[in-house]
């Protein structure tokens, strides 16, 4: 039976990429089971809950009867996701009939969670011990400042002022792929580095956490233990204080790193010390597409291509320089213009028109965010036109798939490629599709699996 492989593009994909033994061990933690259940597609959640109290395997044919004819492709995506995460185990009998059953450890812990209700990973400290706790607004402001300080140091490693406590070796791990340096030259942002700065905070955070987890073995930390702790941390209450003495040594070291990223705030009392999770920490297990943590916008773009950013952030100024001409900076206002030259410079560095437009829309000042559109149409149209001047033809390594045996297999293949961001083109009439080269091996293995 071929193993389902995935490309890690969010937290749960990284969980799925763990070896089977480590993934099974994770399910001894009730909070991991709940986090996994939350992350599943709606149909996959339905299957888990339907089979929660079934202790025998359910045949694939029987499960297909639970689905309407037009939902078969979603059914395949749900089944594959459950297999990737080892929530489902797949077996075949002598007649080669495929059956599925819930992972016993996952099943037992989820049953307990439903019967006894959810409990916190650890109890908050009494209010008479934790004095001067920050308000939620103060905590959010702290997280934003810490995150911006980290990003500034990340993209400008030549600065003399050290803004975080990360070791130079760990900072280089974070900078891997974002910065490049030639001999006797200052570091420069790569194409990925420019795109990284235009991502929303959730996507940036995931990128950094992915590198942090991938490098954990070099620091003597088991990736499975680190993932388990980070997901457990997401079940703590934002703004509550938790005793650091309840943590293991590796967890205490991790908490110090997370404080530099703005995920937690550390405080010291007379006798006790504690950590306070911020929204960045409690949102760790959420989808990258979640927008609940989106910060208030600050950018106003006018029809004459003038740009006004109501911000005192050095990071905001550096980001705006990527695609606009910053003319002057006041204590709480950045004034600039979007020009053909500034955009050409951005395009040459790998930034796309859609990324620039998306950044301006997502960070639009509240006064203009209420308008439709929030960025003037003549500006967005011109940005796209200037990009097409440089990008007449785009070359991309890809693979063509055709001669599908049935419409259901074709639709399921399209959904699989689309889910992992690899679908480039499809022709539903002739049942042909083109996918990115980077997912070709995974796509081939998926299609070879018995349907």
Using alpha carbons, select from 93, 87, 103, 16 the residue that is nearest to residue 60.
93
State the pLDDT at residue 386.
94
Q: pLDDT tens per residue, the chain (451 residues)?
A: 333 333 445 677 788 888 888 888 889 988 889 889 988 989 999 999 999 999 999 999 999 999 888 888 899 999 999 999 999 999 888 788 899 999 999 999 999 988 887 677 788 998 888 778 999 999 999 999 999 888 888 877 545 455 666 777 778 888 887 887 666 666 777 778 888 888 888 888 888 888 898 888 888 999 889 988 998 898 899 999 999 999 999 999 999 999 989 999 999 888 889 999 999 998 876 644 444 444 578 999 999 999 999 999 888 998 999 999 999 999 999 999 999 999 999 998 888 999 999 999 999 999 998 888 999 999 999 999 999 988 777 778 999 999 999 999 999 999 999 988 899 999 999 999 999 999 998 898 888 887 6
> Phi and psi of 63, rounded to 5°?
-70, -35
79 cis-preceded (ω within 30 degrees of 0): no
The pLDDT of residue 185 is: 67
Q: Return the pLDDT at 371.
A: 87
Reported residue count of the chain is 451
Q: Could you give all domains of the chain from N- to C-terminal order, each with its CATH number?
A: 11-116 (1.10.10), 136-282 (no CATH), 299-390 (no CATH), 398-448 (3.30.70.2610)
pLDDT of res. 300? 96
In the three-class reduction of DSSP (H, G, I as helix; E, B as strand; rest coil), residue 405 is classed as coil
In eight-state DSSP terms, residue 10 is S
Q: State whether residue 258 is helix, strand or coil.
A: helix
Per the confidence metrics, is the pTM higher than 0.85?
Answer: no
C-alpha–C-alpha distance, residues 5 and 14, integer Å: 11
Distances (CA, A) of 318 to 159, 309, 322, 325, 350: 14, 12, 7, 11, 16
Contacts 24+ apart (CB under 8 A), 384-387: 384/353, 384/354, 384/357, 386/340, 386/343, 386/344, 386/347, 386/353, 387/343, 387/347, 387/352, 387/353
């Amino acid at each position: 039976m071929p193993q389902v492989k995935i490309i890690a593009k969010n937290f749960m994909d990284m969980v799925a990429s763990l070896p089977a033994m480590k993934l099974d061990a994770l399910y001894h933690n009730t909070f991991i089971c709940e986090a996994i259940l939350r992350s599943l597609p709606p149909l996959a959640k339905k299957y888990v809950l339907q089979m929660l109290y079934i202790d025998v395997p359910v045949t694939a044919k029987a499960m297909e009867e639970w689905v309407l004819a037009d939902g078969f492709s979603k059914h395949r995506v749900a089944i594959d996701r459950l297999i990737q995460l080892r929530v489902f185990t797949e077996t075949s009998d002598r007649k080669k009939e495929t059956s599925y059953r819930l992972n016993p450890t996952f099943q037992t812990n989820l049953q307990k969670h439903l019967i006894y209700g959810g409990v916190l990973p650890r109890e908050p400290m009494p209010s008479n011990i934790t004095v001067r706790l920050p308000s939620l607004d103060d905590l959010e402001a702290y997280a934003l400042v810490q995150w911006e300080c980290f990003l500034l140091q990340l993209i400008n490693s030549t600065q003399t002022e050290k803004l975080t406590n990360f070791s130079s070796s760990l900072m280089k791990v974070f900078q891997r792929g974002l910065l490049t340096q030639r001999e006797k030259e200052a570091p420069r942002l790569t194409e990925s580095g420019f795109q990284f700065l235009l991502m929303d905070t959730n996507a940036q955070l995931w990128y950094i956490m992915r590198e942090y987890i991938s490098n954990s073995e070099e620091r003597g930390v088991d990736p499975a233990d680190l993932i388990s702790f980070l997901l457990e941390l997401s079940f703590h209450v934002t703004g509550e204080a938790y005793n650091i003495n309840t943590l293991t040594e590796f967890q205490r070291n991790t908490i110090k790193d997370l404080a530099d990223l703005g995920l937690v705030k550390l405080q010291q009392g007379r006798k006790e010390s504690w950590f306070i999770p911020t929204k960045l920490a409690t949102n760790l297990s959420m989808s990258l597409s979640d927008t609940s943590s989106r910060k208030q916008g600050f950018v106003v773009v006018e029809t004459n291509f003038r740009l006004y950013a109501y911000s005192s952030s050095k990071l905001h100024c550096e980001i705006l320089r990527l695609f606009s001409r910053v003319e002057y900076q006041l204590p709480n206002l950045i004034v600039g213009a979007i020009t053909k030259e500034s955009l050409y410079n951005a395009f040459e560095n790998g930034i796309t028109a859609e990324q620039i437009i998306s950044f301006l829309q997502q960070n639009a000042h509240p006064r203009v965010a209420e308008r439709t559109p929030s960025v003037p149409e003549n500006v967005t149209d011109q940005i796209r036109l200037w990009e097409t001047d440089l990008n007449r033809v785009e070359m991309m390594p890809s693979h063509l798939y055709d001669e599908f045996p049935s419409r259901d297999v074709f639709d399921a293949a399209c959904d699989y490629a689309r889910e992992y961001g690899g679908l480039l083109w499809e022709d539903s009439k002739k049942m042909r599709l083109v996918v990115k080269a980077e997912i070709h091996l995974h796509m081939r293995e998926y299609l070879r699996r018995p349907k």
